[in-house]
Chain A
Amino acid sequence: MGVVHGEEMVLNIGPQHPATHGVLRLQVRTDGEVVSKITPYMGYLHRCFEKHCENVTYEQVIPFTDRCDYLASMSMNFGYVVAMERLMDIKVNERVEYIRIIMAELQRIASHLLCTGVFGLDLGAFTPFLWALRDRERILDLFELTCGARLLYNYMWVGGLSHDLPVGFVESTFKFLDYFEPKIDELENILAHNKILVERSADIGVMPKDIAISYGVTGPNLRASGVKWDLRKDDPYSIYDRFEFDVPIGQGLKGTVGDCWDRFYVRILEIRESVKIVRQALASIPKDGDVHQSLPKKIRPPKGSVYARTETPRGDLGYYIESDGSPIPYRLKMRSPAFTALSVLDEIGGGWLLSDVLAILGSLDIVLGEIDR
Chain B
Amino acid sequence: MTENQQKLIDELVNKGLDGDMDAVNAHQDRMVRAKAKSMIMKIQKGILKRPPLKKISPEEVPNGDIVQNQEKKENKQESTSAKVVRKLLEKFPNEIENEEFDSHIQLKPDKWFEIATWLKSEPELFFDSLQCQMGIDVQDDILESRYNLHSMKHNHYVELRIAVSRSNAKIPSVEKIWRVADWFERETYDMLGIEYIGHSDLRRILLPDDWEGWPLRKDYQEQETYHGIIVPKMKEGWE
Contact = CB atoms under 8 A, between A and B. Distances in A.
Q: Taking the complex as a whole, does A directly touch B, i.e. does some CB pair lie under 8 Å apart?
A: yes
A216 B129 contact: yes
Contacts of A326: none
A215 B179 contact: yes
B70 to A, nearest CB: 9
**Secondary structure type dominating chain A contacts:** mixed
B106 interface: no
A309 B191 contact: no
B165 to A, nearest CB: 18
Contacts of B206: 42-43, 46, 372-373
Interface in A300-336: 302, 304-305, 307, 309, 318, 320, 322, 330-331, 333, 335
Given A302-B67, A307-B148, A43 B204 contact: yes
B152 interface: yes
Given A50-B216, A340-B183, A43 B178 contact: no
Nearest to A309: B131
A229 B128 CA distance: 14
Contacts of B88: none
Contacts of B205: 42-43
B2 interface: no
Interface string A69-110: 000000000000000001101000000000000000000000
Contacts of A373: 206
Contacts of B204: 43
B43 to A, nearest CB: 13
Contacts of B67: 302
B75 to A, nearest CB: 13
Contacts of B182: 343
Nearest to B44: A89
Interface of B: 44, 67, 69, 71, 73, 103-104, 128-132, 134, 136-137, 146, 148, 152, 155, 159, 178-180, 182-183, 191, 204-208, 215-216
5 contacts: A211-B179, A229-B152, A320-B132, A320-B146, A343-B182
